[in-house]
Chains A and B, each alone.
Chain A
Amino acid sequence: MAKYAPNLSELKKELDEKPSLLKGNYSDKEWWDIPVEFRDGNWCFPAKPEVIEELGFPNPRKWAATDDDWQLPQGWQKTISDGLKSRLKKYRSLKLFLDTCVRCGACADKCHFFLGTGDPKNMPVVRAELIRSVYRNDFPLVEKILKGFAGARMLTPDVIKEWHMYFNQCTECRRCSVFCPFGIDTAEITILARELLNLIGVNNNWILAPVANCNRTGNHLGIEPHTFVQNIESMVDDIEELTGITVNPTFNRKGAEILFITPSGDVFGDPGVYTMMGYLLLFHHIGLDYTISTYASEGGNFGFFTSNDMMKKLNAKMYHEARRLGVKWILGGECGHMWRVVHQYMDTMNGPADFLEVPVSPVTGTKFQNAAATKMVHIAEFTADLIHNRKLKLDPKRNDHLKTTFHDSCNIARGMGMFEEPRYILRNVCNSFHEMPENTIREQTFCCGSGSGLNAEEYMDIRMRGGFPRANAVRTVREKHKVDSLVTICAIDRASLTPLMKYWNPGVGVYGLHELVGNALIMDGEKKRTEDLRENPMAGFEDGEDDED
């Protein structure tokens, strides 16, 4: 981490002492006069030429954000300006959001990147102005006449650098849109800005490499089918060792009732794998007839951070595979942006899913009417229904070694509206749960700082700053209630909150919700359990001690 992020005391000192806009210091410089400066830790490596070629994207080349000349392709201004025009025709949202802002400033201090960097261009309103200023110069006639008056400017390479920097310091978390009196959603602007940047080869390897992988192997991490199976089988072994239970996941099995899709981070990454073990235990516990696909082996969708077409292309595999396997419906694992795509885009892009049935829980008989068209149910909805109908044997004491708090993932919160189910589950599987301060949870939740494909190692400086508001809220409950476990329902959170906690709040672990479910499940015929899924000792279940179990 050291190379790409300042050490904690330096950053703290900077945040505490350096004058900043957040503290009310006005520098007298207009935002468009503040130069963009790339340095270690504040830019993501661009996509490698071979990745670009594999995807068939424009302008493959070797370059770095610190270069003076970004080798933009011939006629790039026209590409951008035509691209903007065509997107303004396709998206009312974009046009409306560029037109209606009154610059009231309500969004200004709502962005985690602004709170962590103090950089004026990280105020959502200015982020949008980066596009607006160019749009004004090109489009509405009268504003063209009143150029200096309306804040319009030319599209220059410096503007592109600025776009690259600040549309990669937005995680599309939509927090600003909660506060905007017109509902202007910077995520919408960032999504389309990144789409435009991709047209001229200004991109991010940490997004495009997973996109290429996902297209080829079915998942972001590029795990080939045999390795994918091996990984899960090794979890099966671990589960057997811990619980004495042999779970039997199946792969690519035709005729299963349910297709289960989760982000590949759960199959490959620590601590995601423990969440996966939780799913496997849960499905075994209720005897679910399900299968996992190695082809549609990715719940997440980095296409969403690339372009509309790429999002649709990667997402198409879910329905395609569900149809091939002849399942009745799809169950989706814990992930943030995956669920924004599934909830708000999938049926529109790749539906109708009329070959599937309206999801019904085979255990409780509950019909998931809220997923009647998409035919895809969130695992938290599914599990909450199981618990509510008393279909799970749970011992929340098995999580007594953890004092938890819950991090709402941005997309689940503001792009789906699921707040209660995970909390209901958490309260049922553990005894110690404390909410973070109210301005930092639910619809006001703060992003982990690394969402929307910014989880790159070389981006650590910005990530640690962007995650600062979240970390600060965790610190509050750590000090107040000795919280040591941050529970999430998002794979990117699991991967990114881990280093964030290490940096800001050492000693706080990051957990998936279903990992805690897995800990608490009393499996039929299990051996005496003394360790949780991470093989950490559980409190009150030590070997040799006689407890109530």
Chain B
Amino acid sequence: MKKVLMPLVMVAVLAIIPYVAVEFGKQQYLFGVVIPYAAAVLFITGFIYRIVDWLRRPVPFRIPTTAGQEKSLDWIRRNPIESPHRAWEAAARVLSEVLFFRSLFRNTRAEQHKDTTLAYASDKWLWLGGLAFHWSLLVIVLRHARFFFVMVPGFSDFLDHADSFFDVTLPALYLSDALALAAVTFLVVRRFADAKVRLISLPTDYFPLFLIGGIVTVGILMRYVVRINIMPVKDQMLSLVNLSFAPPGEIGSLFYVHLFLVSVLLVYFPLSKLMHMGGIFLSPTRNLCNNSREKRHVNPWNYDIKFRTYSEYEDDFREKMKKAKLPVEKQ
């Protein structure tokens, strides 16, 4: 339980800090200007650092996981995605992972039935939950673009309309909010419910889920329950985007909670497993072509080593080889 409670308490404390600081300490400037800037800087530099840190390490061998027929004889049908032969096929493979979680779609659940029998059932819940989670977060982030531009960008406007298709509340309910919340709940619940996942979960797995859940919840509260005046929020965001250090206007404390949790997420991001966002593009089992017998792959640190040559071998076995009528180089 500790590994669940600890991150939960952490997120709760992180949420209370800005609330108290703004409500009672009048720390609007710190939480509305200083911390968001610092977080953005740490996020960008940290993210780039991690990617560069990965990129500068070599890929000595061509090790794609081949999950489909390789290109071989002309009349044998190959699988261009699961066993890519050309660069664009490998790119398609990676994109299908990034956009559709292709490998996760394969997921099965092994079950042991009576009479020592193993069975494998299709299990797409993780795929569905993961997809719902990531896509709704993406939509939410893009939708937020309306706060960062004087003129609301077209895509943001479009998303806004599409997302509020179910016009059941006032203001209109965002589908992505509902989905994100549902998906976060699912992802947390499955970490307890499935014994295997429960065992492997670390506090670092719960923390980002709680943090994101917190951000979404506060966002929803601001929109539907404790209404926040939107204009000063947009002014403040525009000011940040313009790298202005002007103090924020009158905004409800809940907004600072939202902004602070986002800042925490930004700082935490490059330090944690959340970097899988960048890592997925670099995975050598997915982004390499399966053509290493056709095209030479160069290992930058390949060095010569001493191996036992034929002549050393013959020196050792010459008499035996001659007796067995094997040809020898030296008599």
Chain A contact residues, CB within 8 Å of chain B:
12, 15-16, 21-26, 30-31, 88-93, 95-96, 99-106, 108-110, 115, 120, 123, 125-126, 129, 140, 142-143, 146, 148-151, 174, 177-185, 188, 215-218, 224-226, 229-230, 251-254, 294-295, 309, 312-314, 316-317, 320-321, 324, 342-345, 347-349, 351-352, 366, 368-374, 376, 381, 384-385, 388, 413-421, 424, 437, 439-440, 443-444, 468-469, 472-473, 475
Contact = CB atoms under 8 A, between A and B. Distances in A.
B279 interface: yes
Given A294-B321, A443-B66, A443-B82, A125 B200 contact: yes
A420 B76 contact: yes
B291 to A, nearest CB: 8
B279 A96 contact: yes
A126 B200 contact: yes
Given A143-B271, A295-B313, A312 B65 contact: no
A454 B113 CA distance: 28
B293 A374 contact: yes
A150 to B, nearest CB: 5
A419 B107 CA distance: 21
A181 B104 contact: yes
Interface string B59-100: 111110111111111011101001100000000000001000
| Interface size grouping (class) on chain B | 35 or more
A96 B197 CA distance: 21
Given A100-B279, A385-B73, A420-B77, A142 B202 contact: no
B43 to A, nearest CB: 14
Interface stretch (B151-159, B217-225, B303-311): B303-311
B273 interface: yes
A15 B116 contact: yes
A125 to B, nearest CB: 5
Contact of B6 (A149, A421, A469): A149
Contacts of B57: 88-92, 95
A344 B310 contact: no
B61 A21 contact: no
Contacts of A421: 72-73, 76
A389 B61 CA distance: 35
B273 to A, nearest CB: 5
Interface in B309-327: 309-310, 313-314, 316-317, 320-321, 323-324, 326-327
Contacts of B310: 295, 317, 320-321, 324
A352 B302 CA distance: 12
Contacts of B115: 16
Interface in B117-132: 117-118, 120, 126, 130
Contacts of B279: 96, 99-100, 182
Contacts of B109: 109
Given A129-B200, A252-B327, A384-B73, A369 B294 contact: yes
A216 to B, nearest CB: 7
B74 to A, nearest CB: 8
B229 interface: no
A12 B114 CA distance: 10
B178 interface: no
A419 B126 CA distance: 28
22 contacts: A21-B199, A23-B112, A92-B282, A102-B273, A109-B109, A151-B202, A179-B103, A182-B276, A229-B324, A251-B326, A251-B327, A294-B321, A348-B60, A348-B61, A351-B296, A372-B294, A372-B295, A373-B293, A373-B294, A417-B67, A417-B68, A417-B290
B71 A414 contact: no
A102 B67 contact: no
Contacts of A90: 57-58, 60, 301
B293 to A, nearest CB: 4
A105 B275 contact: no
Given A109-B109, A384-B73, 14 more contacts: A25-B195, A100-B279, A102-B273, A149-B207, A179-B103, A181-B104, A183-B97, A183-B284, A345-B292, A369-B294, A376-B293, A388-B75, A417-B67, A419-B69
Contact of A105 (B112, B196, B276, B295): B196
B11 to A, nearest CB: 13
Given A182-B280, A295-B313, A16 B116 contact: yes
